[in-house]
Structure 1
């Protein structure tokens, strides 16, 4: 959200609201003994001191992408960083046993249109911040869900990524229409091996009830996900949910949907009808030819 001055100025995303959102996610996953792949921006995960130590690289990145960093560097220089760092959240989720994935060093788009020089700076910054964090992830959830520079990222040591969802206007419109499909059963896509990568399907975004998406009642969202889960149980399918923690802040009704859906998943897992896996585990599960229902 750092590239949205209105959101930054409003102050809705702050240390307190982030603590509530991440606390809810961890509590719900812990309660139902479910696993997740948690994709963090390295600058958010490493903390303020680690980022300040890498100021020269940040400044060079800002030279390549001035619009993206227009809010970031001035805020750091002024010390106005409430809500900008989540090292405690990263530590807690990692300690709970979840897979920690990379979401870029600064959330700069890594599409093929992004210059190779900017990508090199992102990787340079990431390597330094990984040292500060004490962990080097092998899985990528691409910033803005735009896949690119795969050859370079593979050479950097990454092994798994999530495919990007359709991004055209018509696809977004159909995505909104799909939120009303309480009989949704599209669970056929599974992790695959592609050009040396482990590739997870794009999955489904948990409806963010903001703007026109607020027209979709929470009950409809929950019914749709229950349909997807039933289809996975009945047909050995794969269901992948994704969202951003800040979505829970800007549209609180989403919290109820998340809690109710995860409760349903927990019941299915306890009954032995479904297994809960991280992105890396899901690839291994299907890659080894195991039969099973996966969420």
Structure 2
């Protein structure tokens, strides 16, 4: 039977800490972070769909207890103090939001998105820095009774897998397989044609075990990876071409008996149109589950099944 995985990069403002002057669209997403988090939990509860929440470790904290973690290395060994960054405290701390995940009706998994949304492919991210970031997440989660198994790389930049394995993780979200237009010099035009025309489905993926014993659960579709001008231009073709892509991906996964892995962020839900897209996709998944065509699993569950 086909399986559906929903993975969520839960980061609030940490996803933009290395952008000294975020553009307007990013500022909108930062402002929408907490509201989007709540809406997402409500929708997942409404459809009783479990998801893997890859949480930035600093969001386990409140400002009052953050100082005990200043010894953890980040950005080449220099700890990041949110007090020096723009935005209000509730955009940098989220212990209350993590508790909302744990209290939800749906049986969610809490995984890791590094401690400070660190780019693991940066020149300054040595194995020691990566290890400190991961260990910080493991420690702070374990203090709260959470054993982390799943990992999502910031910006999907995969590196230091050996450290990931050493720190006790069992799986990670790998990059999506390339689609036909990714190999073209006219990639943007090809992507627009695929989404607007609705003739090319996202890939079905198959988890594999890498040389470090980690399960790679590749992505299939970024739910908010077709935005701005492209989305506006595509409206005359389809009401929401991404919803069509999701439905095509679900149908393909059923035909090919594989995994359809959708990922996104809470702060993608900046307005009614984005919320409507998510609701439509979740409703499509729920309908196929009710028909017995798919099951919905977390990344950790997929990893256990793969390693069994």
Query: Which TM class, normalised by the smaller chain length?
Result: 0.7 to 0.9
- Distance in 2, Cα, partners of 1:226 & 1:177: 17
Match of 1:148 among 159, 170, 183: 159
Structure 1 residue 283 corresponds to structure 2 residue 303: yes
Taking a change above 3 Å as real, the CA distance of residues 276 and 3 of structure 1, as seen in their structure-2 partners, is: same
Partner of 1:291: none
Partner of 1:95: 103
Q: Return the offset for 1:224.
A: 1.8
Taking a change above 3 Å as real, the CA distance of residues 44 and 179 of structure 1, as seen in their structure-2 partners, is: farther
Taking a change above 3 Å as real, the CA distance of residues 56 and 256 of structure 1, as seen in their structure-2 partners, is: same
Partner of 1:185: 201
> Any gaps of 5 or more consecutive residues in structure 1?
289-295
- State the Cα deviation string for residues 73-131 of structure 1 (Å, max 9, x = none): 5149xx94132122222222233320111000101111274222322331343344224
Q: Return the offset for 1:209.
A: 5.3
Partner of 2:12: none
Partner of 1:292: none
Partner of 1:260: 280
- The answer as to whether partners of 1:268 and 1:274 remain within 8 angstroms in 2 is yes
- Distance in 1, Cα, partners of 2:99 & 2:23: 25
Partner of 1:33: 48
Taking a change above 3 Å as real, the CA distance of residues 208 and 146 of structure 1, as seen in their structure-2 partners, is: closer
Taking a change above 3 Å as real, the CA distance of residues 181 and 207 of structure 1, as seen in their structure-2 partners, is: farther
- The answer as to whether partners of 1:209 and 1:253 remain within 8 angstroms in 2 is no
- Distance in 1, Cα, partners of 2:306 & 2:131: 33
Aligned positions, number: 278
- Distance in 1, Cα, partners of 2:168 & 2:161: 11
- Distance in 1, Cα, partners of 2:52 & 2:37: 14
Matches within 5 A, 1:73-152: 73-75=83-85, 80-96=88-104, 97-111=107-121, 113=123, 114-152=125-163
Higher relative contact order (CA 8 A, sep 6+): 2
With structure 1 as the length reference, what TM-score do the two structures score? 0.80
Taking a change above 3 Å as real, the CA distance of residues 286 and 115 of structure 1, as seen in their structure-2 partners, is: closer
